[in-house]
Amino acid sequence: MYPKVEINLRGIIENAKTMKEICKKNGKNYCLITKVLADNKEIVKALVDSGIDCIGESRIQNLMAYKDIKAEKWLIRIPMFCEVEEVIKYSDVSLNSELSVIKALNEEAKKQNKIHKIILMYELGDLREGCSKEELETIIEEILKLSNIKIYGLGANLSCYGATIPTIENMNELISVAEDLEKRFNFKFELISGGNSSSYKMLVNGELPERINNLRLGESIFLGNIPCFEEPILEFKRDNFILKTQIIELKEKPSIPRGKHYVDSFGNIPTFVDRGIRKRAIIGLGKQDINLGGLIPQDAEILKLGGSSDHIILDVTDSKNQYKVGDEITFKLNYSGVLNLMTSKYVERKIV
């Protein structure tokens, strides 16, 4: 059935193993962020069986699906009050920045007779989740009074919202905050998690300070790409996710719609370039399934024109392929494309 994503499991596993060797060589470990897989238990189990010992998810529902997989499980999105019970039951570690949530986790951990580990998040400039140093001092003072919460580490997020890149300066800032907190409260963070796949350059160049001993990695392993810099990792397998679609209409039409027009069905005002009469192919996939920016046609002569909820319109005029209705058109995917498609229940996933 179309559309379908073909997944190169061997390539992903090879990347994961290579990354583990790179991290070990540089004195680091990593948590594999599996959210792009959207609860695909078969792939996650294969990765754990290959030697991955820590997986991270932003959705507790996915960790619930992985409950029988033997690995340390992190919830990497700040827990919601409504999911506290499941967080304690299905995750070993959660990232946190709100004292009220941590206290709720502690009460639930008491009920379940568990010790729950947390990584406190410091705001390092990207302006997503994270506390100021002063707020961390207040939070830690209160956490140390709690019976069923263990402070596991200090972390920071970079690149995801504000596109702030990791640097020696902000990594040293994170370490400085960690060491000041350790000195004040007379304890030691087991790990300092210095970011995500955007830290890969610093990792391989030996620029990550010694105390940054953990990274949270997803895109670099699944797609062989360094986010923020948008650079390939040359020794990694890159095309581990290929989208295959089918043409449902193929006709010559004008480049510009007729009649009066204003906003489209998504509330946007479209713009059009008059290229005259063009051969346009419609594929059975739409914005409900993917952001068009996530698609990279393997036929470089295909031009993406736009789409609606259930249709994507392509200009195939300049292609050397003589397409017909029913033919297959394939795409490479960026990270957002994989994330969208793997979440859509209308797209088949096939491991090859």
What CATH number is associated with residue 223? 3.20.20.10
User: What span, in angstroms and rounded, lies between the C-alpha atoms of 20 and 48?
Assistant: 12
Same domain, 190 and 329: no
pLDDT at 259: 83
What is the per-residue pLDDT for 210? 96
Is residue 79, in this structure, part of any structural domain at all?
yes
Please check whether residue 100 is in contact with residue 82, taking contact to mean a CB–CB distance below 8 angstroms: no
pLDDT of residue 262: 74
Residue 268 has a pLDDT of 82
> What is residue 269's predicted lDDT score, i.e. its pLDDT?
78
* 177 & 255 share domain: no
| 132 and 14 assigned to the same domain | yes
Q: List the chain pLDDT tens, one digit each, 352 residues.
A: 999 999 999 999 999 999 999 999 999 999 999 999 999 999 999 999 999 999 999 999 999 999 999 999 999 999 999 999 999 999 999 999 999 999 999 999 999 999 999 999 999 999 999 999 999 999 999 999 999 999 999 999 999 999 999 999 999 999 999 999 999 999 999 999 998 999 999 999 999 999 999 999 999 999 999 999 999 999 999 999 999 999 999 999 999 989 887 777 778 878 888 899 999 999 999 999 999 999 999 999 999 999 999 999 999 999 999 999 999 999 999 999 999 999 999 999 999 9
Domain extent, residue 103, equals 9-228
The active-site residue out of 35, 73, 287, 332 is 35
**pLDDT for res 136:** 98
Q: What is the CATH number of the domain that holds 251?
A: 2.40.37.10
Angle at 128 between CA 118 and CA 309, to 5 degrees: 115
Pair 207, 305 in one domain: no
As given in the structure block, the two tokens for residue 243 are: 């989208």
Question: Is 133 a catalytic site residue?
Answer: no
- Show which of 199, 228, 257 is a domain's final residue: 228
- Domain count for the chain: 2
149 and 214 both lie in a single domain: yes
Would you say residue 285 lies in a domain? Answer: yes
Q: Does 298 map to a domain?
A: yes
| pLDDT at site 148 | 98
For residue 206, being part of any structural domain is answered with: yes
Residue 234 lies in a domain: no
Instruction: Please classify residue 292 by burial: count the beta carbons closer than 10 Å to its beta carbon, then call 0-12 exposed, 13-18 middle and 19+ buried.
Output: middle
Going by C-alpha positions, the residue among 143, 219, 230, 222 that lies closest to residue 187 is 143
> Is 3 part of a structural domain of the chain?
no
Q: Using the 3D structure, point to which of 228, 257, 288 is the last residue of a domain.
A: 228
Is 181 within a domain?
yes
